Structure 1
Amino acid sequence: MASDLLPRSSSGGRGGERLSDEVETIVRKVLRTRYLTRQRRSVAVICREIDRECKMRGLPPPSRSSVQRRIGRLDPVKAARAREGEASARARKSAGGAPPLVDGVLERVQIDHTPADVIVVDEHHRLPICRPYVTAAIDEATKCVPGFVVTLEAPSATSVGLCLAHMAIDKRAWLERIGVQAVWPMSGKPLELYLDNASEFKSEALRRGCEQHGIGIDYRLPGQPHYGGVVERLIGTMMRMAHELPGTTFSNTRERGDYDSDAKAVLTLAELQRWMALAVACYHGEPHAGLGGRTPAGVWAEKVAEHGTPPTVTNEAAFLVDFLPVIRRVLTRTGFTVDHVQYYSDALKPLITRREELDRIVLRRDPRDLSRIWVLDQDTGEYLEVPYRMWSRPAISLWEQRAAVARLREQGRAEIDENALFAMVEQMRHITDTAAAASRKARRNMERRKAAPPRTRPRVNVPEPPAVDAGAVTAAPFEVIEQW
């Protein structure tokens, strides 16, 4: 029955507000008959109804905050079922009915993605590009957001790695770098990730990275979307906040109506990231229904005092490497060839001398910047940073490499060499630069290039590798383990 949802007593006590039994009865009645219905009346409408009922009986009406407190004490699952239906109620249920209790900070963290409900513009022309993607994490015990990332790329293994790297670092240097003044102490490596069954969450990159850092992984049961209700509610909250931004797309076309999202868009990707950082900081200071009205920041501080501060990461780049997409290649005298691009460093010499004893070697690369790869040394378990064989070549992204290969294939090239590949990339960039003012796709491509991490030169000079004998054995056909 709907009456089962209603609070059984007044707030009363010190710091509370006592209502007379008559007024309490009116509040319960209006909540039962007017609030807990599929009409989904707002709090303002409910308060007006209570005011009217009280004045008809000559009683002093309760304040809006008193009504809101009583609404806040309703069972969230049953209230959602009464107002929004069974599907909404499922989203508020805990996984498996009674999930294992988590008490410590970052004991279990949920991660998920969503397209942002806002259009971003390019930095040069301030013209609309697209809706970016948001990957966000939430700590189950405190409802805090330890990390997020905003990208132009669709969700991938790299998105997850970037979110984990952002989660693990101390945020103070990052906040200063992006120009945001805010307090965000929520950082550290999680003990366990709780994820859905999307391919990026089952990648070899994520599995190997979590094993390397002692992070457990658990997955939702297939066909049970409400098992990830904690992170989905966070994403819903973030997107509702985004609806206040110029250029918002709202949640659907009905809500958007005749609002022209493209014409109203003004925020660049970097500006949206700064806005979201401030929005998360504000969220941490707001009362949370799942915490009994306490703030996530307050619960975090209490639990850190009780359990200690989670371990953070000092070298974000090194941590991220452990979560980058994995590929495997055969080592030759000239180093590695990956997607028609050659990589070499003196650091490979000890491996080259015994290359015939080695199987295909695990490599990692950042799809945003292909100017270097990281080679797993099977003996030490550490990664060696190996740059382009020809360092003078520009850093390119994986999407540029694939687009260049596709164009060369269209021109009838049966064999693609490195020189032709980089020449095509340069042609594509020139076309993009000249067409950026007129083409949304071109503007997006320019912003993707800008989103690449800063390129650093190697610490030592990279000599030319030894010449290859005409009869040298060529590398075995390669295989892409993961797509990005």
Structure 2
Amino acid sequence: MPNQHTVQIGARYELNGDLVEVINQANGRIFMRGVNHKGALYLPETEVDQLIRQGRFVPISSALMDQQKALQLVRLDAAQRLKLDHMSYYIQNLIEMFHGSLPRKKTMAAVAIMAADRGDPKPPKYTKLYEQMKLFLANGKNTLALVDHATSKQLRPKRLSQESLEVMQDYIRHHYLKTTKPPALMVYKLFVAHLEELNLHSDSKLDIPSPSTFYRALEALNSYDVDRARLGAKAAAKKHGFGKGIHVPERLLSRVEADTQEVDVHLVGEDGIYIGRAYLTVLLEVLTSSVIGWSLSFTPPCFEKTASALSHALRMREDGSPAGLMEELVVDNGPEFYNASLLALANRLGFTVRFCSKGQPNQKPHVESFFRTLNLQLIHGLNGTTKSNTTMRGDYDSEGEAVMTLDEFRAIVDDWILNYYNKTSHGHRYLPANVLWERYMDKMNPPKVFTVEALSFICISTHFCTINRGRVRFKNLAWSGPGLPIIENNLKTSQKVEVLYDRTDLGTVYVRDPSSGTFYQADGVHSYQFGLSMYEHELVQKKLKEEAKLFTGEEARQTLRRIWQALSESTANNARRKRAHLRDVRNNPTQNITAPNNLSDDAQHINEHIELAEEIDLELINDTLDDDDDYETFELPRK
């Protein structure tokens, strides 16, 4: 039984409550995409009528008429225009008379009277009227629907036999739709060779199509399915992506986006020896496109790095540059953001953390645009830049041309953000970021900022230990201060004291006197500790344990340097190993496939399986629906 409902390409429906749009219809399937969730859906044509009767597939809006018909209407001659006017007159009057229905006898009698009044010698038959009224109503009573399709005499194309068609579809499915992206001409030649081989062993010869026939078959394929098969799911989703603009309330700090990227420039140490690439974490206020906080260091992505950038964003500024506590922080699912520590900190300070869907960087487009601007207007012009890829870099020796230290590079980036980026306009904005910040600032309720002393507790952790000879120790680190011997003298045997330390900077700790409750400052005994994060120190300890070396300040500094360099080189080394391995296999195809051993000396000092992610306390996160195309919001419990 044929389908009663005709599905139009471009029409929108509600499928089980989700708004979808028809994209294509071929091979007995209807290809649709969600308007809101953006997913790809396939519906068999035979299921349409049943779903409509069940109320699960509800028409919402019809497809607009082809714009070519508007041009065709303009090009009509006098006779064709008169014929269109007659049909429009009949249809509109019949709708008024019978309210959409067409009883045959009454309809033909009414048409005969109308034809006599208009002087139409050849009024349309009932079938023509029925089809035209159905088309007219389906397109929102659009007169363009009544325009006849332009016809021209064409030679009927030669039809292939069913067996030839099946072989062609098989070659398209198994040879053309592959991630290796073989050329269409190569697949066509394989297909023709297959048909020729079949014809050699059969009396009935199969038709061999021309290349144009094969190319027409490829053009008839759904472009999304082709890209998904040849490019991959993520690349296809990106290529066929669409979406509405992100609505931002006209309220300062209502939305802040954050991201961490490895900077495209190589750096050296104070001795001029190459170290690697640094990591930059940025917090960007969306309404004004102002950068309010950032952290640039060799520290790889971790909570400590995020806390450092967040502390900078909340810090009180004497120069009045943009800063303040945000309402919502939009981040991705990287280890520096997706951890229990950040969620607990957000709960304590009173802002919401909103996680983007996995693999959807366009859900925080403003900070992504910032990094693109930073690379194009600053980073890619510095000595030692790696550019964005090897093609752009060409023969440039990035490591050999590296001349900047981290402190020098940090000063350049700070100056560029404060005195250039935050003082220029971006996107559709016609005013500089700092001017917009002043304009949107509520003088009666300014952004909430904190003093340096208050922010020192943003990433504070505690540890209990004893005092030995005026020093406290924790994880092979030691701190000493003038107040510690006094506390030690008043302690009982084996009595422990509470030590507060900042996970982002282990250079200074605070020791609490159990008797008076007073905190005494203690400074690190090794210069290695200053500016060191707990995450980096744990990496150093792990590496020294593997190498069975005693912990000393000098040894720790050298190990930390090797870790920075190895982390920076890991991506390049992996690519280099793969290329060398493929080259060896091509040169000696009979040899067994073995893992290459061409790591650099520095890269061999670090375990490639270092876990960068921090374990997440799932008790801080309520269960939420997992939707890969929408934001995931975690509700944090209030105390």
TM-score range (shorter-chain normalised) is 0.5 to 0.7
Q: 2:456 touches 2:502 (CA, 8 Å); kept in 1?
A: no
Change beyond 3 A, Cα 1:375–1:232: farther
Q: TM-score by structure 2 length?
A: 0.43
Offset at residue 272 of structure 1 (A): 1.6
Offset at residue 107 of structure 1 (A): 1.9
2:400 to 250, 258, 263: 263
Q: 1:158 touches 1:323 (CA, 8 Å); kept in 2?
A: yes
1:248 to 381, 385, 389: 385
Match of residue 422 from structure 2: 284
Change beyond 3 A, Cα 1:339–1:290: same
Change beyond 3 A, Cα 1:278–1:407: closer
In the alignment, the residues of structure 2 paired with residue 270 and residue 336 of structure 1 have an alpha-carbon distance, to the nearest angstrom, of 30
Q: 1:208 touches 1:322 (CA, 8 Å); kept in 2?
A: no
Q: 1:142 touches 1:300 (CA, 8 Å); kept in 2?
A: yes
Q: TM-score by structure 1 length?
A: 0.55
2:353 aligned with 1:217, yes or no? yes
In the alignment, the residues of structure 1 paired with residue 239 and residue 509 of structure 2 have an alpha-carbon distance, to the nearest angstrom, of 45
In the alignment, the residues of structure 2 paired with residue 166 and residue 365 of structure 1 have an alpha-carbon distance, to the nearest angstrom, of 14
Q: Match for 2:251: what amino acid? A: G
In the alignment, the residues of structure 1 paired with residue 518 and residue 450 of structure 2 have an alpha-carbon distance, to the nearest angstrom, of 17
Match of residue 207 from structure 1: 343
Match of residue 238 from structure 2: 87
Match of residue 296 from structure 1: 433
2:300 aligned with 1:154, yes or no? yes
Match of residue 186 from structure 1: 322
In the alignment, the residues of structure 1 paired with residue 339 and residue 358 of structure 2 have an alpha-carbon distance, to the nearest angstrom, of 17
Matched residue of 1:243: which SS? helix
Matched residue of 1:103: which SS? coil
More strand by share: 2
Q: 1:122 touches 1:444 (CA, 8 Å); kept in 2?
A: no
Q: 2:311 touches 2:458 (CA, 8 Å); kept in 1?
A: no
Change beyond 3 A, Cα 1:142–1:400: closer
Matched residue of 1:287: which SS? coil
Aligned residues: 323
Q: 2:264 touches 2:375 (CA, 8 Å); kept in 1?
A: yes
2:291 to 128, 142, 145: 145
1:236 to 372, 375, 396: 372
Alpha-carbon displacement from aligned partner over 1:26-58 (angstroms, at most 9, x marks no partner)? xxxxxxxxxxxxxxxxxxxxxxxxxxxxxxxxx
Offset at residue 252 of structure 1 (A): 0.6
Matched residue of 1:145: which SS? strand
2:553 aligned with 1:425, yes or no? yes
Offset at residue 207 of structure 1 (A): 2.5
Overall identity of the aligned pairs, in %: 22
Matched residue of 1:87: which SS? helix
Match of residue 449 from structure 2: 312
2:256 aligned with 1:120, yes or no? no
Match of residue 8 from structure 1: none
Offset at residue 114 of structure 1 (A): 0.5
In the alignment, the residues of structure 2 paired with residue 204 and residue 346 of structure 1 have an alpha-carbon distance, to the nearest angstrom, of 37
Q: 2:251 touches 2:287 (CA, 8 Å); kept in 1?
A: yes
Matched residue of 2:420: which SS? helix
CA-atom RMSD, angstroms? Answer: 4.5
Matched residue of 2:383: which SS? coil
In the alignment, the residues of structure 2 paired with residue 406 and residue 265 of structure 1 have an alpha-carbon distance, to the nearest angstrom, of 27
In the alignment, the residues of structure 2 paired with residue 365 and residue 314 of structure 1 have an alpha-carbon distance, to the nearest angstrom, of 16
Match of residue 257 from structure 2: 110
Alpha-carbon displacement from aligned partner over 1:56-79 (angstroms, at most 9, x marks no partner)? xxxxxxxxxxxxxxxxxxxxxxxx
Q: Runs of 5+ in structure 1 lacking a partner?
A: 1-83, 174-183, 414-419, 434-439, 446-480
Q: 1:208 touches 1:323 (CA, 8 Å); kept in 2?
A: no
In the alignment, the residues of structure 1 paired with residue 525 and residue 424 of structure 2 have an alpha-carbon distance, to the nearest angstrom, of 51
In the alignment, the residues of structure 1 paired with residue 476 and residue 400 of structure 2 have an alpha-carbon distance, to the nearest angstrom, of 41
Offset at residue 141 of structure 1 (A): 1.0
Higher alpha-carbon Rg: 2
Match of residue 52 from structure 1: none
Offset at residue 374 of structure 1 (A): 5.7
Change beyond 3 A, Cα 1:233–1:86: farther
Matched residue of 1:262: which SS? coil
Matched residue of 1:187: which SS? coil
Matched residue of 1:148: which SS? strand
